[in-house]
A and B are shown apart, each in its own frame.
Chain A
Amino acid sequence: MREYVQLILDWSEVWSIFIPLLIYRKQPALYRPVVFYLWAALFINLSIDLIWKFRTYIPSAYNSNNYLYNVHSVVRFCLFSYFFLSLKQPFLVQVKKAVPLLFFIFFVINFGWYEQFFNYSLFSSRLLAVEAFFLLFYVLQYYLYKINENVEVDIFTPDFWITTGVGIYMVINFFIFLLYNELTVRLQNFAVSLWNVHNVSFIIFNLFIAKAFHESGKQ
């Protein structure tokens, strides 16, 4: 039983993406970055899981999937930044516009001098933690702006569900991302089981996006 649950959790990074994709109806332009992210995430996560599953059959130079986590992080940051900027909320506009630039500077400095993007044995904890930090900034500014805005019809709009999904995912995973490299060195088994927490949060994240698509489809 435990093995089945583990198998379901191991593959959750792939199957959970199908929840919003199955609910998907034609979305307004505002939510296209999220739709594009889902397809990109599906492709990246499928590659991650297939490489991990068939690692013994793949030449050793190519059987690491860690760099794909870095790719996933960059893609997620870019698309969700685009999504939050597309909301056109007149609040901290300059700061929000500066965030992608700050991320780019961090990216260049980090992978130019301190880390390798295509590291065989580790993904970049620093990259994922910085991404989580910046996305959490977007999430919090969204709530702060909405609190000051007049509510006319409904507070549970599709962008609320997307933002909350991103918020929950990043809140749970910020410390996991930040300490994961350290954990894989010191407490490998704990690190592996901790990834289940990440997978559960990824399922929740997809459920929230599915809810957003469902609400958007109703409108």
Chain B
Amino acid sequence: MNQANNDIRLLLVVGIAAMFLLFATILLIFIFTQRKKLQYQQSLHSLKESQQLQLIEASVRSEETERHRIAEQLHNEVGALLSSAKLHLHTIHFREDDNYNLSLYHKGSELIDESIRKVRGISHSLHSHILQSFGLNEAIKHFVEKLVGGSLITATTALDYTYKTTSLPQSDISIYRIIQELLNNILKHAHATEIHITSKYENENLTFNIVHNGTGLTQELFEEVRYNSDGMGLRNIQNRINLLKAGLNFSESNGLYFIHIILPKPLDERPVTI
């Protein structure tokens, strides 16, 4: 009887222990394999992400190169041709009483001057020499002044000059392009009459705030427009934001629209920049 009791007790203890060990083994194998698969999926995902960033980087770089090339050609070739045309025009002499031809001459001269200015303007907007020579803040300030010059729009800037252009100014080019595109959009679509741009450089974080009184975008609207619109502008902005690993936020308060850009890491320590 005692032996039978001991047997049943042994059977119970061994049974529970064996079942438990078996289950624990299965559970551990399950967790281990799932973890491995998850790591694999994550590495695959990050690989895809880095490939996507590389593609964006290449596309942005080629865009910049193309801008640079067109700007140079405009400046050096078209600009030179127009200057030469102007020189030739100035060599023409008219009788003082030949008012008709004289007025045509002045009109032609004005048009050539205007064309030279336009070509220079387009050339500078395609490739900002100010950005390279004087840095991001000056380039933004200059762009804003040029953008609203001669119009009824009021644009002010309060930029943080403690931020200096880094040794890798490609990041600054991207920030400049983002702000350029945003300001163009504000004028073109939001019909703002007042724009205020501020920047702050604190704890190696560079932030920009653009406030305007037009009909701007909220974050939801931005997401919607970005996915539904065929336009390149917002997509380019988002690509550059992704490339810089920056944050971009749109909001609205009391009839004013806010655009907040944050670049959270030192720009010259970024692995992917353009």
Contacts and interface: CB of A to CB of B under 8 A. Distances in A.
Interface of A: 140, 143, 146-147, 150-152, 154-155, 164, 167-168, 171-172, 174-176, 178-179, 182-183, 186-187, 190, 194, 197
Given A152-B41, A186-B4, A187-B5, A175 B12 contact: yes
B8 A155 contact: no
A150 B12 contact: no
Given A168-B23, A187-B9, A155 B16 contact: no
A147 B16 contact: no
B33 A147 contact: yes
20 contacts: A140-B26, A146-B34, A147-B30, A150-B41, A151-B38, A151-B41, A154-B38, A155-B31, A168-B23, A171-B16, A171-B19, A171-B23, A172-B20, A174-B15, A175-B11, A175-B16, A179-B12, A186-B4, A186-B5, A187-B5
Nearest to B35: A155
A143 B26 contact: yes
A183 B222 CA distance: 71
B37 A151 contact: yes
A154 B37 CA distance: 10
B80 interface: no
Nearest to B34: A155
A197 B38 CA distance: 35
B8 A147 contact: no
Interface of B: 4-5, 8-9, 11-12, 15-16, 19-20, 22-23, 26-27, 29-31, 33-35, 37-38, 41
B38 A155 contact: yes
A186 B5 CA distance: 7
A167 B38 contact: no
B134 to A, nearest CB: 48
B76 to A, nearest CB: 54
Contacts of B31: 155
A190 B6 CA distance: 11
A140 B30 CA distance: 10
B19 A175 contact: yes
Contacts of A143: 26-27, 30
Contacts of A154: 38
Contacts of B5: 186-187
A152 B44 CA distance: 11
Contact of A164 (B4, B19, B27): B27
A200 to B, nearest CB: 12
Contacts of A167: 23, 27
Contact of A146 (B19, B20, B30): B30
Contacts of B16: 171-172, 174-176, 197
